[in-house]
Structure 1
Amino acid sequence: MNGGAPRSPDGRFRNTEAFEPRGLADVLRWQWQARREQQAAAQPTPTQAADLDFLARNRGGALAPAATWLGHATVLAQFGGVNLLTDPHCSHRASPFTFSGPQRAQPPAIAPERMPPIDLVLVSHNHYDHLDVTTVQALARQAGGPPLFVVPLGLKRWFARRGIAEVVELDWWQTERLRGVEVTLTPVRHWSSRTLGDRMASLWGGFAVLAPDMHLYFGGDTGYSPSNFIDTRAHFAERQSAANGGGFDLALLPIGAYEPRWFMAPQHVNPEESVRIHGELGAKRSLGIHWGTFKLTNEPLDEPPRKLAEMLQAAGLTEQDFSVTAIGETLRLPPRTSKALP
């Protein structure tokens, strides 16, 4: 379970299960289907003004562990004495080009220059909707110095070419520590590529972030793989016993970009699978991300929350277990408590 990511004979990374990224013929078939089945959202993605005053005063969770959805897979989490940002993307397009590619349906809740000082940035993989060069460069220029970027194996070189040196690479199950906060890269089912020639050349993953006041899980981008999430729960079982405060206090799980299933299932979960992951992780609470921002797949932008509500009802769960928020909304959480003796 803890041996790191497998590789193919040519050194490229692989998933724990058989996985082959879709070829050109499948992409063209999907695009043809998407044009025929195009559906517009009935409602815009809900947004609200971010509470910048609270976020500034809540440096590192000083007032309460908190998570603010900025859009897509970008979340500002404050706990453990650090301000943490996931998959930084605040640009208008998720594309290598400024003139074409998926456009942001709603602006990011906070532009990089208005964010509180970011201490730690987690990058799950190198796809354009999860790693944006303009946002990364803005974070690296923030007042007070750049944050620490924690990335999967093979991505440090990408940052170095852009003059960013505060980067740590991790293999699956490896851990980095920053001021008492532990960050572990965990397996998920996905893939990587930014150019025609670098497919699977860098790793991908989720993150488990453990601090005294909160345990956070960030799923990044993933298809459903029961072994990955069951293994993640088992890996932290001792640290998350009932005496030690229980499971993940908050899991950030993708719920969008899932249709059509014949094309997307290997790489993107749907809401039903996200609810299953919530249970397999043993999370106390989950927040749905990776929806409502970029039109990447066939389902309308506003469908994932509706499907999530249906799946929660079928599973006997409520919004107190797994919910969504407006872009810009802050979810405040009670501090984690441990019953273990010192």
Structure 2
Amino acid sequence: MTQQSEPTTPTTPADRPADLPAASSTLTSPAPSVPPLAEPRPLGERRVWPRAFHDRLTAPLPGLKAFTRFAREGAVRPDKEGLADIPLLPYEPGPLPRVDARTVAVTWAGHASWVVRIGGLTVLTDPVWSRRIIGTPARITPVGVPWEALPPVDAVVISHNHYDHLDAPTLRRLPRRTPVFVPAGLGRWFHRRRFTCVTELDWWEGAELSGVRIDFVPAHHWSKRTLTDTCRSLWGGWVFTAPDGQRVYFAGDTGYGHWFSRIGSRYPGIDLALLPIGAYDPRWWLRDVHCDPEEAVQAAQDLGARRMAPMHWGTFVLSAEPVLEPLTRVRAAWEKAGLPREDLWDLPVGASRVLE
């Protein structure tokens, strides 16, 4: 994967702290400093963005040669043997845990959809409650949390605009006053749907809601929703920081690369990392945009995260690996890395865990 420096944006230098300086090659040079967090942006702020974000790509998008190879040898679905384990996919829906303002709890609704309870807030990540999304067969596990079982939703965060992460039918269920946090350039999509509190953020920017800090961080991915909007909006992950300092990182959709260590440096003490482990085969086609299970475990270590919860697998069939393979591989990689088994939160769809 090609790595590039953090590009400039139309915001002012005071609004955008510089990226981490390059590591020194000598033992006598001082260690690189970590820039302070940017001041929180105002909620619902209207901003002007570049027309496109192609300069943020960390790998080229597939060209004609890659598409030709994919048409010749690529597989988009598992074979019959790879699909045979669908009935064995872990699905254990249960009631959401009772929480207070000092409790952090997560519930996996499936794919990249989590119910995150932090600092007294209920936050939905990339909410997809639909049975089917465009271009993909129907989900192979039901949604883990019935919509009517959700507490009042205090905020929604969106990682990028791909259909398996930005689902219009689900978002139509929300009150239009719900605070929504989205990547730069995606606000107009929500404004057209009459959402009234839409906060667009660039990488390394954050905002605050009821004392909880919500920061947008880089990812190795891209964006596209129609034939004409490739990379017209940004992509990334989110870091939630409670008033007492507890931290949860939601990676969204990402390949493996240099951003993880930088995120860990700027947001130390991540208590839980929600990391994608599926949709990785064929590897030559998906390596730059989707972590495989071993890379996800390495990413958790790069982040300095105390715990990891896998996601982005076992819900939609998006690629060619067998449906249960991501789970078996992430467990093996975690054990091989010598990490405590209790810190791998490999939850069934619908299950919850409370951060002690």
TM-score range, shorter chain: 0.7 to 0.9
Q: Give me the TM-score of the superposition, normalised by structure 1.
A: 0.84
Percent of residue pairs bearing the same amino acid type = 41
Of residues 294, 308, 312 in structure 2, which corresponds to 1:272?
294
Higher alpha-carbon deviation: 146-155 or 317-326 = 317-326
Pairs within 5 Å for 1:179-328: 179-213=210-244, 214-226=246-258, 228-236=259-267, 240=268, 247-328=269-350
User: Match for 1:289: what amino acid?
Assistant: M
Question: How many residue pairs end up in the alignment?
Answer: 308
TM-superposed CA distance for 1:50, in Å, is: 2.3
- 1:47 is matched with 91
How far residue 62 of structure 1 moved from its aligned partner, in angstroms, is 4.2
Q: Which amino acid aligns with 1:33?
A: G
- Which residue does the alignment assign to 1:125? 160
Q: Which residue of 2 aligns with 1:79?
A: 118
What CA distance in whole angstroms lies between the structure 2 residues aligned with 1:88 and 1:137?
11
Q: CA RMSD in A?
A: 2.2
The one-character-per-residue Cα deviations of 1:166-210 (angstroms, maximum 9, x if unpaired) are: 210000011110011111100111000000100000000011111
Distance verdict in 2 for CA 1:35–1:120, change over 3 Å: closer
Look up the SS of the partner of 1:138 in the other structure.
coil
Report the 3-state secondary structure (helix = DSSP H, G, I; strand = E; otherwise coil) of the residue aligned with 1:121.
Answer: strand
Q: What is the Cα deviation at residue 161 of structure 1?
A: 1.2
Cα drift, residue 2 of structure 1: 7.1
The structure 1 residue matched to 2:62, chosen from 19, 22, 32, is 22
Q: How many Å apart are 1:29 and its aligned residue?
A: 3.9
1:177 and 2:220 are equivalent in the alignment: no
For the structure 1 residues 90 and 80, does the alpha-carbon distance in structure 2 shift closer, same or farther, using more than 3 Å as the test? same
Partners of 1:41 and 1:302 within 8 A in 2: no
In structure 1, the residue matched to 2:193 is 162
Q: Distance in 2 between matches of 1:18 and 1:172?
A: 14
1:106-137 CA-partner distances (Å, limit 9, x unpaired): 11112333311110111000000001001111
Displacement of 1:69: 0.2
SS of the residue aligned with 1:66? strand
The question of whether the paired residues in 2 share the 8 Å contact of 1:15 and 1:189 is answered with no
1:257-280: CA deviation from partner (whole Å, max 9, x where unpaired): 111110000100001110111011
CA pair 5-186 structure 1, distance change in 2 beyond 3 A: farther
CA change 1:37–1:250 in 2 (3 A) is closer
* TM-score, normalising length: structure 2: 0.81
Cα distance, 1:212 vs structure 2:
2.9
Residue 111 of structure 1 is matched in structure 2 by 146
The answer to whether the 8 A contact 1:258-1:270 is kept is yes
CA distance in 1, matches of 2:76, 2:312: 22
Partner of 2:52: 12
35 and 332 in structure 1: CA distance in 2 versus 1, 3 angstrom threshold: closer
The answer to whether residue 175 in structure 2 is matched with residue 140 in structure 1 is yes
Aligned equivalents of 1:259, 1:134: Cα separation in 2: 28
Letter in 2 for 1:191: W
2:108/2:347 contact within 8 Å kept: yes
Q: Secondary structure at the match of 1:323?
A: coil
Q: 1:208/1:4 Cα in 2 relative to 1: closer, same or farther (>3 Å)?
A: farther
1:197 alignment partner, SS class: coil
Distance 1:278 1:5 in 2: 28
